[in-house]
C-alpha cells in the first residue's frame, strides 16, 4: 500500500476524544514531533496539526508559515503555557525555507520548556535548522494539553485565519514526554543517519527507514508508543498507535500518489 495520504485543502482529521489519550490529559514539558510532507507552492500559511481551544488559545500548533504572505515558507511550532496564562506562547520558528518542490521532505521538532531559556531543535531532511534566536526565556513550565477542545491534522477550528493543508502527509508522529530527547544524540540505530520519531533519515540516499510500524523502538526506547502516529493509505491512515483509535474525517481523504519510503 502507499503509506501516505493526500489532503485537498478542505480535508482534515479530527479527534475530539482527548480523554482517550492519557498523556494529553497531563501537563508535560517535552516532546518530539516528526512528519513527512510533499506539497506544491502555497500562498497562505497552513496548519498541519493543532490542539485548539478558543478563546483559551492553543497548547500546540504546527504551521507552515509564510511571514507577510511572502513566497518563502518556514516551519513553526507554537507551544502555549497553561490556560491560566493564556496568550503566553513559545514560537519555535525555523530560519530555513521549507522546500515546496513536489518532492518528499522530512521535518523534526524536539523541545523542552522545562528550562530557561527553552531548549529546542529543528531538523529539515536530517540537517539542523536554526530556530528563532534567542530562544524564549519564560521560566520553566509545562504544556496543559487538557485545555484543548479537539485536535486536528491538516487544519484547525473553522474561524482560524490560517489555511488548511494542501498536499501529502506521511508518518505524522507526536510523542509528549517529560524527558528531553536530543535528536543529535546516538540512540542505537545501526544504519547511518539521524534518528527521529519512528524513522531514521539516511543521508546516503535521502530515503526514510522504518523502525517500527507502530513506533515501537522509536527514539531508541524499547516499547515506546507515540501518542499520535499516523501512517498508511486513505483507508488505514486514521489510526493512532496501531489502529486502536479512529479519527473522524471531514472532506474526502485520498491516497497519495507516492510515499517517501524505499
SS3 79: strand
Average pLDDT, the chain: 73
Pair 148, 59: CB distance under 8 Å: yes
Q: How far apart (Å, rounded) are the C-alpha atoms in residues 101 and 85? A: 40
Average pLDDT score over residue span 161-173: 83
Q: How far apart (Å, rounded) are the C-alpha atoms in residues 168 and 105? A: 10
Domain boundaries, the chain: 5-183+227-251
Each residue's pLDDT tens digit, 16-26: 776 556 667 77
Q: What is the pLDDT of residue 62?
A: 93
Q: Summarize the chain as % helix, strand, coil (round to 5).
A: 5, 40, 50
Is residue 10 over pLDDT 60? yes
Most confident range, picked from 82-91, 135-144, 216-225: 135-144
Higher pLDDT, 52 or 223: 52
Confidence of residue 256 (pLDDT cuts 50, 70, 90): very high
Confidence of residue 191 (pLDDT cuts 50, 70, 90): very low
Q: What is the pLDDT of residue 32?
A: 82
Is residue 262 over pLDDT 70? no
The CATH architecture that domain 5-183+227-251 belongs to is Sandwich (2.60)
Q: Which helix (H) or strand (E) holds 122?
A: strand 119-124
pLDDT > 70 in the chain, percent: 65
SS3 58: strand
Nearest alpha carbon to residue 125 among 79, 183, 71, 76: 183
pTM comes to: 0.84
Amino acid at each position: 500500500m502507499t503509506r501516505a495520504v493526500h489532503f485537498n485543502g478542505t480535508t482534515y482529521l479530527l479527534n475530539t476524544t482527548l480523554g482517550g489519550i492519557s498523556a494529553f490529559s497531563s501537563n508535560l514539558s517535552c516532546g518530539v514531533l516528526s512528519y513527512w510532507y510533499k506539497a506544491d507552492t502555497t500562498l497562505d500559511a497552513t496548519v498541519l496539526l493543532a490542539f485548539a481551544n478558543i478563546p483559551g488559545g492553543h497548547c500546540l500548533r504546527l504551521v507552515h508559515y509564510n511571514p507577510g504572505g511572502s513566497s518563502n515558507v518556514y516551519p513553526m511550532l507554537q507551544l502555549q503555557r497553561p490556560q491560566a496564562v493564556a496568550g503566553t506562547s513559545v514560537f519555535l520558528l525555523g530560519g530555513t525555507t521549507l522546500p515546496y518542490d513536489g518532492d518528499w521532505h522530512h521535518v523534526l521538532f524536539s523541545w523542552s520548556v522545562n528550562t530557561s531559556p527553552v531548549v529546542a531543535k529543528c531538523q529539515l531532511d536530517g540537517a539542523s535548522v536554526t530556530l528563532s534566536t534567542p530562544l524564549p526565556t519564560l521560566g520553566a513550565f509545562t504544556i496543559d494539553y487538557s485545555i484543548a477542545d479537539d485536535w486536528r491534522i491538516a487544519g484547525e477550528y473553522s474561524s482560524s485565519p490560517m489555511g488548511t493543508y494542501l498536499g501529502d502527509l506521511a508518518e505524522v508522529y507526536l510523542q509528549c514526554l517529560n524527558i528531553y530527547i536530543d535528536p543529535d544524540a546516538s540512540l542505537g540505530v545501526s544504519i547511518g543517519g539521524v534518528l527521529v520519531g519512528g524513522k531514521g533519515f539516511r543521508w546516503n540516499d535521502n530515503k526514510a527507514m522504518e523502525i517500527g510500524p507502530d513506533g515501537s523502538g522509536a527514539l531508541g526506547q524499547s516499547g515506546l508508543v507515540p501518542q499520535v502516529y499516523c501512517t498508511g493509505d486513505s483507508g488505514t491512515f486514521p489510526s493512532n498507535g496501531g489502529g486502536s483509535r479512529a479519527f473522524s474525517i471531514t472532506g474526502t481523504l485520498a491516497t497519495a500518489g507516492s510515499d517517501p519510503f524505499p
